[in-house]
Structure formats: structure tokens, C-alpha cells
């Protein structure tokens, strides 16, 4: 594949295929940090984290909030299988702040509950950041 070729991004949630279009570049969160993908990328399978998916397509840049799942890069096709994907323009700052306040208010007892509370707080903070950037 040459550098000028397009990639095809497919975003699939349990409910539907949210996005299936050619793109020239994208950046998304893996479990342990962000990754960018350009044409010519070697194959990859990774665990998705939560945060912003930024897509550069012919129609311009688009952003989504994604929440966990798996990513596969195979040839020119990038497949993101995620629990939840929301277009950034549909996110509400007030709703994200409400989710963060709810996560902060949880009383955690024991390691499992503490880990769940921290994950909820992190997810809400990342959603809030994406919501604020999309305004």
C-alpha cells in the first residue's frame, strides 16, 4: 500500500455499524495509550481504552467518544469493535459532568469497588474532555 492510498474505518457497536467510510488518518485510545494510523501501517490487534477517536476523512475531521473494546488493523481496513461510540457533537458537557459527579460520589469498599470507581471516574473525565473540545 502506498502512502497516498485511503484507509477504511469500520466502527461497530453492539447495536449497529456506526461508521464505515474511507479515511486518510485516525487516532484512537488503546488501553495503554493513544495510537495513530496512517496508510501502510503494519497489522495490529489491540485493546481499546476510553477516549477520543479522531478521524480525518474527505468530509473533514470527525471525533467520537469510544469506550473500550478491540481494534484490528489489517491491510487498509481498521475495525474498531467497541462497547460504546458516540459522535462528539452529540455529547453533552452537562451530562458528562453529571456522570463524573456520580462516579466521584460512589463509596468504594474493597479493591474491586475502588478499581471500578477509578475506571468510572477516568471514563467520565475523558468523556467530559471530548465534550468540551467538540464545542
Residue 83 maps to a domain: yes
Range of the domain at 100: 91-133
In this predicted structure, the answer to whether residue 38 has a pLDDT above a threshold of 50 is: yes
Note whether 76 and 114 are same-domain residues.
no
pTM for the model: 0.85
How many distinct structural domains can be found in the chain?
2
Note whether 97 and 81 are same-domain residues.
no
Closest C-alpha among 131, 7, 2, 130 to residue 57 = 7
Report the pLDDT value the prediction gives residue 135, as an integer from 0 to 100. 75
For 95, phi and psi rounded to 5 degrees? -65, -40
Note whether 79 and 95 are same-domain residues.
no
Note whether 21 and 79 are same-domain residues.
yes
Report the pLDDT value the prediction gives residue 4, as an integer from 0 to 100. 55
Pair 124, 92: CB distance under 8 Å: no
As a whole number of angstroms, the distance between CA 52 and CA 31 comes to 12
In this predicted structure, the answer to whether residue 121 has a pLDDT above a threshold of 90 is: yes
Note whether 18 and 84 are same-domain residues.
yes
Note whether 66 and 26 are same-domain residues.
yes
Average pLDDT, the chain: 92
In this predicted structure, the answer to whether residue 21 has a pLDDT above a threshold of 80 is: yes
Q: What is the CATH number for 33?
A: 2.60.15.10
Amino acid at each position: 500500500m502506498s502512502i497516498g492510498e485511503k484507509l477504511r474505518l469500520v466502527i461497530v457497536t453492539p447495536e449497529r455499524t456506526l461508521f464505515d467510510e474511507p479515511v486518510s488518518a485516525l487516532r484512537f485510545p488503546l488501553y495503554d495509550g493513544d495510537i495513530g494510523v496512517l496508510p501502510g501501517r503494519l497489522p495490529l490487534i489491540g485493546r481499546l481504552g476510553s477516549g477520543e477517536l479522531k478521524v480525518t476523512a474527505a468530509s473533514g475531521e470527525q471525533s467520537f467518544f469510544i469506550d473500550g473494546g478491540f481494534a484490528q488493523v489489517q491491510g487498509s481496513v481498521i475495525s474498531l469493535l467497541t462497547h460504546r461510540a458516540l459522535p462528539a457533537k452529540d455529547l453533552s458537557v452537562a451530562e458528562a459532568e453529571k456522570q463524573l459527579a456520580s462516579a466521584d460520589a460512589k463509596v468504594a469498599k474493597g479493591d474491586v469497588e475502588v478499581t471500578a470507581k477509578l475506571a468510572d471516574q477516568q471514563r467520565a473525565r475523558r468523556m467530559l474532555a471530548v465534550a468540551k473540545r467538540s464545542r
